[in-house]
Amino acid sequence: MKDRESVAALDRDDPLAPLREQFTLPEGVIYLDGNSLGVAPSAAASRAAQVINDEWAVGLVRSWNTAGWHALPGRLGNKLATLIGAKPNEVVVTDTISSNLFKVLSAALKLIEKRDPSRRVIVSERSNFPSDLYIAQGLIALLDHGYTLRLVDTPEELHAAIGHDTAIAMITHVNYRTGYMHDMAALTRHIHHVGALAVWDLAHSTGAVPVDLTSVDADFAVGCTYKYLNAGPGAPGFVWVAKRHQLHVHQPLSGWWGHEAPFAMNPTFRPAHGIGRFLCGTQPIVSLALVECGLDVFLQTDMQTLRRKSLAMSDLFIELVESRCKEFPLELVTPRDHAQRGSQVSFDHPHGYEVMQALIARGVIGDYREPRILRFGFTPLYLRFVDVWDAVETLRDVLATEAWRAPEYAERSAVT
Amino acid sequence: MKDRESVAALDRDDPLAPLREQFTLPEGVIYLDGNSLGVAPSAAASRAAQVINDEWAVGLVRSWNTAGWHALPGRLGNKLATLIGAKPNEVVVTDTISSNLFKVLSAALKLIEKRDPSRRVIVSERSNFPSDLYIAQGLIALLDHGYTLRLVDTPEELHAAIGHDTAIAMITHVNYRTGYMHDMAALTRHIHHVGALAVWDLAHSTGAVPVDLTSVDADFAVGCTYKYLNAGPGAPGFVWVAKRHQLHVHQPLSGWWGHEAPFAMNPTFRPAHGIGRFLCGTQPIVSLALVECGLDVFLQTDMQTLRRKSLAMSDLFIELVESRCKEFPLELVTPRDHAQRGSQVSFDHPHGYEVMQALIARGVIGDYREPRILRFGFTPLYLRFVDVWDAVETLRDVLATEAWRAPEYAERSAVT
C-alpha cells in the first residue's frame, strides 16, 4: 500500500529531479497541463529581454545578420531534430503546426500525383485533433480535384482503411484526448507497403515520448513546441521532411524565406535546396527565440530517461486514482499498455467539465476535453511524484465532498 | 539656403516631437530603416516581461481566458483598423503577410470562379515585392487550374493589363524599392469596372500613409506590423476582408482558430461568422502581444498629421541630397509628386551596396535593395528633421571621401 512517504522516496531517487529548478512554477499549483501549454523555463524572461533590449532596440535591422535571426528556424530545427530521430537540416521551426500541415499535405499530394494519379484518398481518424482534419478539408476543397478524406472510428480500423487508393495517411502519433499512441514503425511500414505516404503529427509526441523518424522511415512530420517543449504560448511549430523527398517536393506557401536567394529579389520563385523550402514569411523572432530556452533543458537529458519517468508517473497516477477514488464513476480512457500510451492519462467522468473546474480552483491544473474527458499531462522535466500523489488526493476530495457541484463550476468559459 | 539651424527649427515646431520619447533608440544611430524593421517602443520590454512572468509562468493555460490571449488577433485588429480606414471586426492580426496573402488569393479566386469561371488571370507588377509573386506562383502551381500570373513592367501599364479576363489584381500600394504609391481609389474603381477583385498589399502603407479601405471600396488587403507599426521583428501580419465578402469566402488554411466553435472539437470545419475565419492555428502570443505597444503610440496621433511630417521629411531629404551631393551620381528613383510617394526615398547609385555599408558603419542606417538602390525610410513618430540633415551630411562625407571604396564594404552578408 502506497502512502505519500513512499511516493516521496521516488523523487529522492529521480535523476531528473534537479531539472525542475530550471523552470518557473507558480506557488500552490500542480500543473498537469504541460500537454496543452508547457511551463516557462527560467531563462525565458531574460532571453526575451535580450532579444528586445539588445537585438531589436539596439541592433535593429542589423540583427538579422549579427544576432542570427535569419538562421533561427534552421538552427532551432537542428536542436529539435535530436528529440525526434531526425538528421541535421531536416527540420525547421516555423509558422503554426496547422500551416505546416497544409504545406506538407500539399507537397505530399503533388508528389504522389506524379507517381499514381489514381490515388485520391487521405486517410485519418475521426478522433484526430480537429484542426488536422480541418486543414485536410480546406486543402481538398481548394484543390477541387476529387480528393476525399476517409475517417476511421478506431485505431484498429486504420490498417484496413489504408489501401491502394490511398495517397496519404495523416496520423497523429499520440491522440490528444485519449493519449493512445500508435505504433509508428508498423503503421509506416503498412502505409509504404500499399504505396502511400506517411504524414505524422507529433504534437503530443515531441518531448513526450521517444520518436525516431529516421528508423521508422517516415515521409513527413509536423509538430508543436508550446506543449512538452515549453517554448511559450503559441510558439512556432516545426516541419520535418525526409531528406530523400526534400528536393522533389514543392509546397504552395512559397514565400521569400523559402527562396534559394531571398535577397536577390528575383520575380520567379526558386525553392531553397533542402528543408528551407518549407519556410514562408518573416518569422516572429521574439516568440521563435524563446523556443531555444525550452530545448536547452531537454538537451541536458535524453528521451529514454524521460520516458521511464513519464511511464512511472502515469502508472502511479492510474494506480492511485483506481485505488483511492474507486467509489466514483471514473473510467480510464488511456491504454494501460505502455506501448500504446503517450505522456498523459485521461479519465471519463459524467461531470468531467465541472470536476476539472473544481480541481483547477484547488490548484490542480489539468484540462477538459469534450465529451466528459478529464485530461492530465505528465511532464517529467518539472513534475514530482509527490505532485501525482497530491493531485489524486485533491481529486478524491473534490469527488468525495461533491465540491464540483458548486454552480460556478458549470459555467463554460470561451476556452476550456 | 538651408542650414542645420533652420532645420532644427522645424523640430521645435513639430507637434509629433514628444512621441519620440516613447521609443528606445540607440545612441549614435540615425535610423532610416523603419520601413524594414521599426524601432522598439519603450513599453515593449515590460510588456514582454508581463506576458512571460505573469501571464505565462503564473497564469499558465488559464491565461487563454484570463489574459485574453484568445481574443488578441481580433482586439489588435480593431485597433489597427483605424489606421487603414477599416471597420470593427474586419481585421485580424495573425500569421505572416505571405501566409495571409495565400489565404486571401485563394478566397478571392474561389469567389470569382463562382461568378465567372472564364477569368483565369492574376495581374500584378514585376517590381512587386517578390514574396507576393512567389505566393501567387505557389497557389497557381498547386491549383493547376490554368491560372496565370500577368506581370507588367511599369505602373502605367497596369490599367490596360487589368481586363475582362482578370480574376484578381494583386497590387502593392507602395512599392518596396522605389516608394512609388498607387492611386488606390482609381485603381480599385477600374478593377471593379472590369469585374475583377482588388487585393491590396499594405506592407509599406500601414502606418506610413493614409489608407481608407472603406472609401476606396477594396475587397481584400494584407499587411505587416513590423515595419512602420514598430511591432517587433517578424511580428504577425494582418488580413482585412470587406464585410460584404466575409460570409461568402472560404480560405484553405482552415485551422481550428478559424472554426466557429473551436473547442466543440467537431470533426467537420465550419467557418467562424466573420473575419475570424481567416485565422488558422495557435498564434505566437509573446510576439503578438507586442504589436499593441506599437499601435498604442499611433493612437495618440492620426495619419494626416503623420503624413504631413513624412512628406516634409522626404521633401527635405530630396532637396538636401540634390543640393549638397549634386556632384555625385545619385539619381532619384522615388516620385517627386506627393500623390505618388510613400514614406521612403530611394536613390540609384552605381555602387549602392558599398555606399550603404559605409553609411551604416557611420551610424546612418538605411538599406540596400537590388539593384543599385539606396533606400531611406522616414518615420515621423521618432525621427527628427535634424536627423535628415545629419544623414545627408554623412552621405556627402562618404561620397566626397570615397570612404565607400574600403574593401570591407564590398563583402555581402546573408541579409542585406
Which triple of cell numbers denotes residue A363? 490548484
Using alpha carbons, select from A144, A198, A142 the residue that is nearest to residue A167.
A198
CA distance to partner chain B, nearest, from residue A116 (Å): 17
Separation of alpha carbons B235 and B237, rounded Å: 7
Tell whether B227 is within 8 A of chain A (Cβ): no
Average pLDDT of span B23-38: 97
B286 vs A131, A232, A280: nearest CB: A232
Q: Count contacts between A and B (CB, < 8 Å).
A: 313
Look up B176 and say whether it is catalytic: no
pLDDT for the residue numbered B68: 97
Which phi and psi angles does B222 have, rounded to 5°? Answer: -130, 160
Q: Is B130 helix (H, G, I), strand (E, B) or coil?
A: helix
ipTM above 0.90, yes or no: yes
| Span B160-176, pLDDT tens digits | 999 999 999 999 999 99
What percent of the residues of chain A are helix, what percent strand, and what percent coil, each to the nearest 5?
Answer: 45, 15, 40
Residue B212 has pLDDT above 80, yes or no: yes
| Span B174-187, pLDDT tens digits | 999 999 999 999 99
Averaged over successive runs of 10 residues, the pLDDT of chain A (416 residues) comes to: 94 98 97 98 98 98 96 98 97 98 98 96 98 98 96 96 98 98 98 98 98 98 98 98 97 98 94 98 98 98 98 98 98 98 98 97 96 96 98 98 96 64
Is B156 exposed, middle or buried, given 0-12, 13-18 or 19+ CB atoms closer than 10 A?
Answer: exposed
| Span B80-91, pLDDT tens digits | 999 999 999 999
CB atoms within 10 A of CB A371: 12
Which stretches of B115-175 are assigned E, i.e. beta strand?
121-125, 148-152, 166-172
Separation of alpha carbons A112 and A105, rounded Å: 11
Which phi and psi angles does A207 have, rounded to 5°? Answer: 80, 0
pLDDT above 90: percentage of residues in chain B: 97
Separation of alpha carbons A315 and A337, rounded Å: 10
CB B95 within 8 A of CB B124: no
Residue B416 has pLDDT above 50, yes or no: no
Separation of alpha carbons B255 and B239, rounded Å: 16
Residue B132 has pLDDT above 90, yes or no: yes
| Chain B partners within 8 Å of A237 (Cβ) | 281
Beta bridge partners of B180: B341
Cis peptide leading into B155, omega within 30 of 0? no
Among left, alpha and beta (phi > 0; psi -120 to 50; other), residue B90 is alpha
A47, A52, A290: which to substitute to probe chain B, counting the most B Cβ within 10 Å?
A52
Whether B252 sits inside 8 A of A141 (CB atoms) is yes
Average pLDDT of span B381-385: 98
Residue B202 has pLDDT above 60, yes or no: yes
pLDDT for the residue numbered A413: 67
Tell whether B62 is within 8 A of chain A (Cβ): yes
Which triple of cell numbers denotes residue A5? 512517504
pLDDT for the residue numbered A416: 46
Which phi and psi angles does A180 have, rounded to 5°? Answer: -65, 135
CB atoms within 10 A of CB B207: 31
Average pLDDT of span B356-369: 97
CB B58 within 8 A of CB B66: no
Separation of alpha carbons A289 and B357, rounded Å: 27
Tell whether B372 is within 8 A of chain A (Cβ): no
Q: Which helix (H) or strand (E) holds A43?
A: helix A43-49
Cα angle at B341 between B339 and B343, to 5 degrees?
Answer: 130
CA distance to partner chain B, nearest, from residue A313 (Å): 21
B224, B227, B280: which to substitute to probe chain A, counting the most A Cβ within 10 Å?
B280
Per DSSP bridges, beta strands A91-93 and A238-241 are antiparallel
| Chain B partners within 8 Å of A26 (Cβ) | 57-58, 60
The band of B338, judged by pLDDT with boundaries at 50, 70 and 90, is very high
Separation of alpha carbons A270 and A259, rounded Å: 6
| Chain B partners within 8 Å of A45 (Cβ) | 48-49, 52-53, 57
Which 8-state DSSP code applies to residue A271? B
Quote the pTM value: 0.98
Tell whether A283 is within 8 A of chain B (Cβ): yes
Whether B253 sits inside 8 A of A365 (CB atoms) is no
For helices B4-12 and B303-324, the axis angle rounded to 10 degrees is 180
Place of cell 489574459: B67
Which amino acid, one-letter code, is at B281?
A: G
pLDDT for the residue numbered B414: 53
Residue B221 has pLDDT above 90, yes or no: yes
C-alpha dihedral (B342, B345, B348, B349), degrees to nearest 10:
-160
- Active site residue ranges of A: 129, 201, 226-227, 375
| Span B247-289, pLDDT tens digits | 999 999 999 999 999 999 999 999 999 999 999 999 999 999 9
* Active-site choice (B227, B309, B369, B384): B227
Per DSSP bridges, beta strands B148-152 and B121-125 are parallel
